[in-house]
Amino acid sequence: MAAGVAHEIRNPLASIKGYAQFARTSFEKDQQTYQDLSVILDEVDRLDLIVESFMGFALPNKPDKKWVYIEDLLDETIQLLKSDFLNAAVGVRLITAGKTKLFIDAGQIKQVFINIIINAIQASKASGEIVIKTLNSVDGFFTVEIIDQGTGIKEEIMDKVFTPFYTTKEKGTGLGLSISSRIIQNHGGALEIDSTMKQGVRVLIKMPLKGDLNHES
């Protein structure tokens, strides 16, 4: 089980807990339904504890790397998030130049794209647009830029956004960026955030063009 999956399990668990707690208030302690709901609540707590200890410091598994066309992976991710874009009334534009193969764990990198694009959608206003751009840079790194026109990140919280469990969202777990950053580091790359724009945020995902020599087989 990837840390990213564990992360996604916690939100529905929290709502199961909330609903069960609310339902229990309609019954007296000696009623069977009250006791049944208490069993559900205890089990939810146990699950939550298991997921939490599993995640530890949200360490993703060691990447299982293969040569993958990064543009295809971006296409797939955008398709996967189609209804998220539609529901938020946010547009998306993918700008690529040709096709590039990178030595990556496709599942993990897709998780990074999902985390960052969902952050961008959540920060965007209706009718905003998210631009996803690839840059074949000269310093040996391939860069994917994800640019939104949303709320931006205030200077005073910039040093906190990569901290596990730091969130400004009511239903956030604050793990998206810390997991993503760890995954990119495990690939020999770097995840950077540029919040100095007039509006919105630009996230740069840098991955080595030749694969990480330390891990390559």
Q: Can you give the binding site for ligand ATP, defined by CB under 6 A? A: 115, 119-120, 123, 148, 150-153, 161, 166-169, 172-178, 201
| Stretch of residues binding Mg ion (CB under 5 A), selected from 6-14, 101-109, 172-180, 205-213 | 172-180
Of residues 174 and 208, the one with the C-beta less far from ligand ATP: 174
How many chain residues are in contact with Mg ion, going by CB under 5 A? Answer: 2
201 binds, among Mg ion, ligand ATP, none (CB under 5 to 8 A by kind): ligand ATP
Asked if 60 touches Mg ion (CB under 5 A), the answer is no
List binders of Mg ion among 117-136 (CB under 5 A).
119
b/e string for 44-56 if b means 16 or more Cβ within 10 A? beeebeebeeebe
Interface residue with Mg ion, options 4, 60, 150, 176 (CB under 5 A): 176
**What is the signed CA dihedral for 174, 158, 183, 88, rounded to 10 degrees?**
60
For tokens 């040569």, the residue is: 67
Task: Name which of residues 177 to 216 contact Mg ion (CB under 5 A).
Answer: none
CA distance 119 to 167: 11
Residue 36: helix, strand or coil by DSSP?
Answer: helix
Nearest distance from C-beta of residue 40 to ligand ATP, angstroms: 24
Q: Which of 147, 142, 180, 143 is nearest to 161 (CA)?
A: 180
Instruction: At 37, list the tokens.
Output: 């709901």
Which residues of this protein are in contact with Mg ion, per CB under 5 A?
119, 176
